[in-house]
Structure 1
Amino acid sequence: MRSAAIGALLAATLGGCSMLPSASPTIGQVTKPAALADGRALDLVDLNESGWSEEDTPIAPSAAWSFTDGTTSSEQILVGDNLEIVVFEVGYRLFGAIDGGDAKDPAVSAAGAALPTISVPADGYVAIPYVGPIDVLGRTPQGVATEIRERLRGLSQRADVLVRVASGPMRSITVGGEVKAPGRIAITAAGERVLDVVAAAGGPSEQQSNLIVRLARAGDSQEMPLDQIRAGDAANVRLMPGDVVQLLKRQQSFSVIGAARDVAEVPLADTPVSLVEGLARAGGPIDNQADATGVFVFRYVDKDVGGTMTAVPTIYRLNLLDPRSYFIASRFRMQDDDVVLIANARSAQFAKLVQMLNQLTSPIVTVDVLTR
């Protein structure tokens, strides 16, 4: 009677073996799906000498923003601009002392007198001594200089005028966040770019790989990793007045889950981390639970599909029981947002079953012994 009861219990338990809880799938459960729920096909790549090479995987995924080169500072004078005006005169001067000697002597040299810097007010009118108010808003420095020179005719001997826009809030961009010297930076006709203004602000105050750049322009805001913006690339866009550049801290990392000794999020620093190093930092596989032939890396890889760059969901498979695979794993670089999964061995479920049966049958055996 007792044997029949135990047998029935065993049969019921074996039938429910697949229902036992599990923290990680087996190899078959990982490789069985052929596509994602949205229909995108999964690409399964074996990390061995015939299935993978370093050229197959880019060092970093592509990233871009839709911003293009902005226009350089306009030559037109804007509200808040600081004007520097220099008047050159020969002989009798309105803006400086008379040279020694006869003022009518043609040998007398010309001298320039710099007027105090003038900030353009909201109405656009600036007052020039001996000239009076001049509307400068929306005009070029050359045009303003010509008008001042014409108004000085008859008041000054052979006057010449230079007008230069020194700076102004409408000709600057703002740099903030994780830089050493945040603040406003003037935009010149040279056309400063993203990396230029980051350098002008003292450079990053954190590791470059842990920073993203947020660029705000005309109500739009986009982000991009700083270490993916390089000189000469389209991402290093020319900035325009009013742009706001922020460096924000974002720790890049990858995750190790499944039958690992330490399920962990592993940070990525400026130094590349290989798959072998990533597994070591997570303590490696659990001996009595993991399937060493099933170490998987989940990643989106940009590939040319029908002439269009598409993020293809890709699963890389590593067999740790093959000694040759360690050479490949040491060259396989981890990337931000990678997921490393160590699969459960199929025998792990059976071990759980045996443990459960021991817990169930031990009291029965104990009672049987005591009642004899």
Structure 2
Amino acid sequence: MKLYLSTGARLLALVAVGATVAACGLPRSGPNKREIYAGSVLKQGDAFVVAVNDRVTRATAVVPALGFGSAFTGAGIMGSDTIAAGDTLSLQVIENVRDEPLLSATGSRVAVLEEVQVDGQGYIFVPYAGRIKAAGQTPEGLRQAITRKLDTQTPDPQVTVNRVAGNGATVTVSGGVGGQGVYPIERPTRTLTAMIAAAGGVAIEPAVALVRVTRGARTGQVWLQDLYDNPSLDIPLRPGDRIVVEEDRRAFVALGATGAQTRVPFDTQTLSAIEAIATVGGLSTNLADPTGVFVFRNEPAEIANNVLGRNDLRGDQRMVYVLDLTQPMGMFHARDFVIRDGDTVYVTEAPFVQWQKTLGAITGSATTADSLASLGSGS
């Protein structure tokens, strides 16, 4: 009778634990290969599952198009002494008369007009000369214009004009630089790289630094490294330009049987699949299936059509790219396949891992049943 109760208790325990395992399922990091393939369009799913080969790597090797348009590159170097609206000028007029001079006090031939502001329309006002267009002129050109205006009222006036950089000849520099602020465009700082240097240089990692310039309604941006490597990108600046240095915000997500499951920012301009896997510690040697490395992505229709050899797709398409690192060319394909912003890199677990978990659950169930049976026999 005692043996019968022990066996009955063991069976009841096994049934209970087995039912629990069946109801809850075994723990795992995500879908397996079979489940991913089951979601393909070929099996009435909503994603295209594509094995990566040389053609696919070429079709998907798209990187962000950065650069400056002709509105920036064709502007030409601005003269360092060009007067702009908002500038402040200092004028000095020497008259050739001592008695009853036009601008200065009696007995003095020198009249100094400090802080003459160039208005929003580009004009200044000079007593007895009237309103004169200053913006767009050099100090020498403005000097001659003032001289012509005054010459009819005072004999042979000697005029000097000094320009002081003001609000009209400045740019704003912000973001990841040593010193954010408003900087004047002067002779040493008429180009983009020179102005960044004047602002204290870049204060973030240069490899992932982007430089964005906004001029009116137009905006262009380049990689900092490309700016230094390609002199043609070192554009001339214009008053009112807004320069922002910022860190690259692109990132991908790593999931599954990898060294870490996390959101990973890009640390280089381009990132391959093999580099992405290495960034998170590589494949987990105890869990990963090297034949099941997947990249999930919403692909633009143009690229999706090219990858699939079609021309009828419209709008973004859900694509699942498959990498098999056990194939002779698998590593090369992973090295050449470009990871893009927003990608999800997922590594499936090896089939034997589920067997191990199943065996562990069964072993644990048997142990539990024995314990329950022991309790039953001891009562």
**Range of TM-score over shorter length:** 0.5 to 0.7
Provide closer, same or farther for how the CA distance between residues 331 and 6 of structure 1 changes in structure 2, counting only shifts above 3 A: same
Please tell me whether residue 316 in structure 1 is matched to residue 321 in structure 2: yes
CA distance in 1, matches of 2:246, 2:35: 39
Cα separation, 2, equivalents of 1:307 and 1:65 = 33
1:151 is displaced (CA, Å) by 2.0
Residues 71 and 262 of structure 1, relative CA distance in 2, 3 Å threshold: closer
Greater share of helix residues, 1 or 2?
2
Distance in 2 separating the partners of 1:156 and 1:137: 23
1:33 aligns with 2:31: no
Q: Deviations over 1:342-368 (max 9, x none)?
A: 113445444333322332331322454
Does residue 135 (structure 1) correspond to residue 135 (structure 2)? The answer is no
Deviations 1:173-219 (A, max 9, x none): 11122224544344589x9675664355454232234334455666x
For 2:330 and 2:111, how far apart are their aligned partners in 1? Answer: 74
How far apart are the structure 2 equivalents of 1:353 and 1:297? Answer: 28
> Is 2:363 aligned against 1:358?
yes
2:331 counterpart of 1:326: yes
Distance 2:38 2:67 in 1: 34
**Partners of 1:311 and 1:202 in 2: how far apart?**
42
Structure 1 position 290 matched with structure 2 position 291: no
Deviation at 1:171, TM superposition (A): 2.4
After superposition, residues 192-203 of structure 1 pair within 5 angstroms as: 197-198=195-196, 201=199, 203=201
Q: TM-score, normalised by structure 1?
A: 0.65
The question of whether the paired residues in 2 share the 8 Å contact of 1:78 and 1:120 is answered with no
For 2:245, the equivalent position in structure 1 comes to 247
- What secondary structure is seen at the aligned counterpart in 1 of 2:336? coil
- Whether the aligned pair in 2 keeps the contact of 1:172 and 1:241 (CA below 8 Å) is yes
What secondary structure sits across from 2:252 in the alignment? strand
1:341 deviates by 0.8
Q: Distance in 2 between matches of 1:313 and 1:353?
A: 33
Q: Which amino acid aligns with 2:364?
A: Q
Distance 1:61 1:41 in 2: 27
- TM score, norm. by length of structure 2: 0.64
Partner of 1:110: none
Per the alignment, in what secondary structure is the counterpart of residue 285 of structure 1? coil
Structure 1 residues 138 and 116: alpha-carbon distance in aligned structure 2, compared to 1, 3 A threshold:
closer
Letter in 1 for 2:152: R
Separation in 2, partners of 1:213, 1:47 = 34
| Whole-angstrom CA distance in 2 between matches of 1:280 and 1:184 | 42
Q: What is the 5 A alignment of 1:79-94?
A: 80-83=86-89, 93=96
Distance 1:47 1:143 in 2: 67
> Take 1:217 and 1:266, find their aligned partners in 2: how far apart are those partners?
33
Give the whole-Å Cα distance in 1 for the aligned partners of 2:129 and 2:259: 79
Q: What SS does the corresponding residue of 2:56 show, helix, strand or coil?
A: coil
- Equivalence for 2:223: 226
Is the 8 Å Cα contact of residues 126 and 134 (structure 1) preserved in structure 2?
yes
Per the alignment, residue 60 of structure 2 pairs with 57
Q: Output the CA distance in 1 between the equivalents of 2:317 and 2:197.
A: 36
2:117 to 115, 120, 138: 120
Matched, 1:24 2:19: no
For this pair of structures, how many residues does the alignment match?
338
- Indicate conservation of the 8 Å contact 2:51/2:322, yes or no: yes
Counterpart position of 2:145 = 146
Ranges in structure 2 where 5+ consecutive residues have no aligned partner: 1-6, 99-109, 306-310
Identity of aligned residues (%): 22
Give the superposition deviation at 1:245.
1.9
Tell me, yes or no, if the aligned pair for 1:299 and 1:339 is still in contact at 8 Å. yes
